């Protein structure tokens, strides 16, 4: 199975950001890379933990897309993203409800004897509900982080989000950075 295209757009990003960035823009306009069950399977397999066990259904596709839109809506709020084509059409209350519903799917911890001692360990269910809960948790942590490392890429035409993991990082990736620098250079040359 070939990797999901979002990995080529934003390699190394956190899972929730990868989910949010399954909506992207190219020269032809806004694109959605989660339109089929095959797209969803490829996306889930590309996550660090790998694909969940069991069947993936069209209802799962709808729930993943709904979570993506909710996280994009909340990301737009915390980043001050006013790009109309980047913002999901959910209102804030709907977005929070979607994230909270996904969070409720997290498996509770279980008590186990580990190396002769009792420990409370997270249950490692790997079904779609568990993956949604992990994505929702990651996204909620980003949205609620007071340091605010989540950013909207401000390159012209881009609709992606990224985690600012370096003080000088301004764009989602190299392509957007190069495009902005080339535009600045062109403007300077043209202006003189």
The answer for residues whose C-beta is within 8 angstroms of residue 156's C-beta and 6 or more apart is 179, 180, 183
With respect to residue 95, please indicate whether it lies within any of the assigned structural domains. Answer: yes
CA distances from 122 to 25, 45, 112, 134 (A): 38, 21, 10, 12
Spatial contact of 139 and 163, defined as CB atoms under 8 Å apart = no
pLDDT above 70 (res 10): no
With respect to residue 166, please indicate whether it lies within any of the assigned structural domains. Answer: no
Neighbouring CB atoms inside 10 A of 163's CB total 18
- Measured between alpha carbons, how far is 132 from 105 in angstroms, rounded to an integer? 7
Per the structure, how many domains does the chain have?
Answer: 1
CA distances from 127 to 48, 51, 122, 167 (A): 14, 8, 14, 37
- pLDDT category of residue 84 using cuts at 50, 70 and 90: confident
For the chain, helix (H) and strand (E) counts, in that order, are 7, 6
pLDDT above 90 (res 85): no
- Measured between alpha carbons, how far is 104 from 4 in angstroms, rounded to an integer? 27
> What pLDDT is stored for residue 7 in this prediction?
63
* Mean pLDDT value across residues 1-6: 58
- Measured between alpha carbons, how far is 44 from 156 in angstroms, rounded to an integer? 29
Q: What is the mean pLDDT of the chain?
A: 87
- pLDDT category of residue 39 using cuts at 50, 70 and 90: very high
The answer for residues whose C-beta is within 8 angstroms of residue 124's C-beta and 6 or more apart is 107
With respect to residue 165, please indicate whether it lies within any of the assigned structural domains. Answer: no
**What six digits make up the tokens of 135?**
């994505």
- pLDDT category of residue 2 using cuts at 50, 70 and 90: low
Q: Supply the pTM of this predicted model.
A: 0.85
- pLDDT category of residue 55 using cuts at 50, 70 and 90: confident
With respect to residue 103, please indicate whether it lies within any of the assigned structural domains. Answer: yes
With respect to residue 51, please indicate whether it lies within any of the assigned structural domains. Answer: yes
With respect to residue 160, please indicate whether it lies within any of the assigned structural domains. Answer: no
pLDDT above 80 (res 87): no
What does DSSP assign to residue 163?
A: E
Q: Greater confidence, 96 or 191?
A: 96
- pLDDT category of residue 177 using cuts at 50, 70 and 90: confident
Strand 23-26 and strand 29-32: the pairing is antiparallel
> What pLDDT is stored for residue 9 in this prediction?
62
Domain that holds residue 58: 6-145
Where is average pLDDT lowest: 2-6, 71-75, 96-100, 106-110?
2-6
């Amino acid at each position: 199975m070939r990797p999901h295209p979002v990995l080529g757009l934003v390699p190394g990003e956190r899972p929730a950001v990868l989910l949010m960035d399954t909506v992207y823009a190219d020269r032809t306009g806004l694109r959605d890379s989660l339109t089929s069950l095959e797209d969803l399977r490829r996306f889930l397999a590309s996550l660090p933990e790998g694909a969940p066990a069991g069947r993936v259904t069209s209802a799962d596709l709808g729930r993943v897309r709904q979570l993506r839109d909710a996280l994009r809506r909340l990301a737009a709020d915390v980043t001050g993203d006013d790009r109309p084509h980047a913002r999901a059409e959910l209102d804030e209350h709907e977005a929070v409800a979607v994230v909270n519903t996904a969070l409720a799917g997290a498996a509770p911890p279980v008590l186990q004897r580990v190396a002769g001692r009792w420990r409370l360990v997270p249950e490692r269910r790997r079904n779609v509900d568990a993956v949604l809960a992990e994505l929702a948790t990651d996204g909620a942590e980003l949205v609620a982080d007071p340091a605010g490392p989540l950013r909207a890429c401000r390159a012209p035409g881009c609709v992606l989000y990224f985690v600012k993991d370096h003080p000088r990082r301004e764009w989602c990736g190299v392509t957007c950075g190069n495009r902005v620098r080339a535009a600045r250079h062109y403007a300077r040359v043209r202006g003189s």
